[in-house]
Amino acid sequence: MYVTESGQKVFVVDGHIHLWDARPENRRNRYGLTFIESFWGSHVGMTPDEQRWNFDRFCYYGIEGAAKDLFVDGYVDAAIMLPTNLRDFYVEGFNTIEQCSAFKNAYPEKVVLNGRFDPRDGQKGLDALEADFEKYRLKGVKLYTAEWNGESKGYTLRDDIVAPYMEKCLKLGIKNVHIHKGPTIHPLNLDAFDVRDVDYVATAFPDLNFIVDHCGMPRIDDFCWIAGQEPNVYGGLALIPSFIHARPKYFAQMMADLLFFLGPDRLLFGSDYGITSPKWIVEKFMAYEFPDDMAQEAKTQLTLDVKRKVLGLNAARLYDLDVPLECRLPSMAASHHEDGEVLLGQSDVQPGGAIRASA
């Protein structure tokens, strides 16, 4: 929980965290090194100097390290874990649901453990999802559409194999589907960069929430366009708030676009931990105000209420988390629908058919 100077309490949900193991003994091959090296570049580039870790800690911080960075230092009341297998690179996997569940067991009240599935696994995958649900009572899953699987170098959410999995999620009550649409990570389709398939599946399954992690970056312009049209598409911000230190101008531009198109009720804060820690991001975000021109572009200033929604209340709503009374907005339930309509009513003409088609 973050407390402002005037004593206002802000409930913080870190919507995007990992507990990974990239230690040398867990690396299967050189890919295991170069994969964590790419993340390391992000850590070094975005983290303020005095908050930077050394490479060994970056490769593995363990349950205690994570608990300190998130719950003690980082103002985080609840953290959503998104598993990543990557068994081709790491002997025991990089950040598997089993690895993540140890953190959940240690902090059951604070950790939300999400699962994963790959629709190309057919019936076996459906059974595994159900078994994971029985074991972990999942409320969300994470998908990597660009992941390799045998001969396949990726799939899209339009593929026929996807619908049975979405129906299974509905049946089990797993209502939050996170989709990695961000900077390319391997194994991946060499040309995967599209966000259009989210549009399709979001229309087909209006009762599921689709959280597009990293807001489609580096295709944030395309993502904004799609998300603006689909009320059940959410922006998982992870990566975007991390610009606030090293590149505040670009942080502001991206946030302004996202607020304009999605409104303040459909954006979920995430630090992408351990790429970097939430502590400094939350502090800088709470202190940040848009310059006037950006507030105009966004159609809103980053008011305390907007910050509260983005930092925690939106994720709490999706994941049914209990928000202490003093952190709630009295107006939240009433205003949230209206805001969306006002924002969507702002016309934003797409400049040409071709770009629209590529969006």
Partner 1 sequence: MQALEPRETAELVPDLGEERHAEVIAALGDVLDPELDEPVTDMGFIESVTLRTDDVEVVLRLPTYWCSANFAFLMATDMKAALEHLHWVRGATITLVDHFASKKINQGVSARKGFSEVFVGEAQTGLDDIRRVFGQKAFLGRQERLLRLLAERGGIEDALKLSMGGLRRLLDHDDQEIRSLALRYLGMRLHDGGSVQDDARAFTTLSGLPVSSATYADHLRAARRVRSAAEANAEMCRMYLSARKSHPAPGCRPEDREQEAEP
Residue ranges binding partner 1 (CB under 8 A): 28-31, 33-38, 40-46, 55, 151, 153-154, 183-186, 189-191, 193, 217-221, 224, 243, 246-247, 250, 253-254, 257, 297, 347-355, 358
Q: What minimum distance in Å lies between the beta carbon of 318 and partner 1? A: 25
- Give the Cβ contact number of residue 255 at 10 Å: 27
Closest to partner 1 by CB, 17 vs 220, is 220
Closest to partner 1 by CB, 132 vs 199, is 199
Q: What minimum distance in Å lies between the beta carbon of 281 and partner 1? A: 15
Closest to partner 1 by CB, 80 vs 86, is 86
Task: With beta carbons less than 8 A apart as the criterion, state whether 266 and 234 touch.
Answer: yes
Q: What minimum distance in Å lies between the beta carbon of 15 and partner 1? A: 20
Task: With beta carbons less than 8 A apart as the criterion, state whether 201 and 166 touch.
Answer: yes
Task: With beta carbons less than 8 A apart as the criterion, state whether 273 and 51 touch.
Answer: no
Q: What minimum distance in Å lies between the beta carbon of 190 and partner 1? A: 5
Beta strands in 75-175 (DSSP E): 78-81, 111-113, 115-116, 140-143
Closest to partner 1 by CB, 112 vs 195, is 195
Closest to partner 1 by CB, 38 vs 105, is 38
Closest to partner 1 by CB, 45 vs 164, is 45
Task: With beta carbons less than 8 A apart as the criterion, state whether 261 and 254 touch.
Answer: no
Q: What minimum distance in Å lies between the beta carbon of 67 and partner 1? A: 25
Q: What minimum distance in Å lies between the beta carbon of 59 and partner 1? A: 9
Round to whole Å and give the CA distance between 93 and 225: 35
Round to whole Å and give the CA distance between 185 and 188: 6
Question: CA–CA distance from 48 to each of 52, 76, 178, 278, 280 (Å)?
Answer: 6, 19, 28, 12, 8
